[in-house]
Amino acid sequence: MSSRRVSAVLRDAASRLEESGVASPDHDAAELLAHVLGTTRSRLPLVDDPGADQVAEFGALVERRAAREPLQHLTGLAGFRHTELKVGPGVFVPRPETELLAGWAIEAAQQVLGESGRAPVVVDLCTGSGAIARSLAQEVPEARVYAVELDEGAHAWATQNLAGTGVELRHGDMADAFDDLAGTVDVVVCNPPYIPLEAWETVAAEARDHDPHLALFSGDDGLDAMRVLERRAAVLLRPRGVVGAEHADVQGLAAPQVFVDAGRWSDVRDHLDLAGRARYLTARLAR
């Protein structure tokens, strides 16, 4: 396929995706074609002519993406920080903004290591695909990392992504997870469900129709899981241990207030993402 032919095919595919409301049609069309041809987006102008079966496969993937099936489900992979995760139906696709929360957890674990010289203990609640736990194990290899996931489908994906990393993955509810670690954890990190049930119609089709609802919705105000996290983190953390949790951009006041109202946290802060939106909170256990 010549570079001119590649451009024409991508232009047609991107137009189809744009018509269907896909937010990034050019990027997604190129990613799908690169996936089919076994190359990268930057090398598409250099590829050989594809066979008829590859053209048909690409066309089928474009139609599935036009139907708002997540791009990562179609390619089977999602990039996250310095790693790549296997994803597909049944697991929440990790978002780029969550990389900031993971970065905070990594820095917090490194600080424990630097100040105490001992291996930091980190717990990732609601691990989903295992994205945060995998990044922690990769970037702070000295850490003892634990993760838990309730949804069976997501747990199966996390099992794949955390295999060989040293992370101890468990299947269960964060509300009562890791009793054996009570009072010994340095860092608790969590990307909980946080969408109010009433916001159903505002959720992007890719998430609403394909991500597990257990990973999305959290009661009438979207903070039910945050309240559970606050209670569990207080049990797990050692004195002066820290917790970090992602939340919706409209919860920049309400989510931290969950920790303030509990009366056992200090240094409760909210943090912005790269677009300047409220994205995650952190707090330190005061006792």
* pLDDT tens column, 115-163: 999 999 999 999 999 999 999 999 999 999 999 999 999 999 999 999 9
- The token pair at 55 is 């053209």
In a domain, 82, yes or no: no
Same domain, 40 and 112: no
199 domain residue, yes or no: yes
83 and 135 in contact (C-beta within 8 Å)?
yes
Crossing angle for the helix pair 52-66 and 3-19, to the nearest 10 degrees? 20
| pTM for the structure as a whole | 0.85
The domain spanning residue 265 has which CATH number? 3.40.50.150
Assess contact for 144 and 119: CB atoms under 8 A. yes
Helices 254-262 and 224-236: angle between axes, nearest 10 degrees: 40
Q: How far apart are CA 51 and CA 41, in angstroms?
A: 18
Looking at the chain, the whole-number percentage of residues with pLDDT higher than 70 is 88
Residues 161 and 260 both lie in one domain: yes
Residue 166 pLDDT class (50, 70, 90 cuts):
very high
pLDDT at 243 over 70: yes
CB 105 within 8 A of CB 138: no
Report the alpha-carbon distance of residue 287 to residue 274 in Å, rounded.
33
Look up tokens 């089709």; give the residue: 205
On whether both 147 and 216 belong to a single domain, the answer is yes
- Range of the structural domain that residue 35 is part of: 3-67
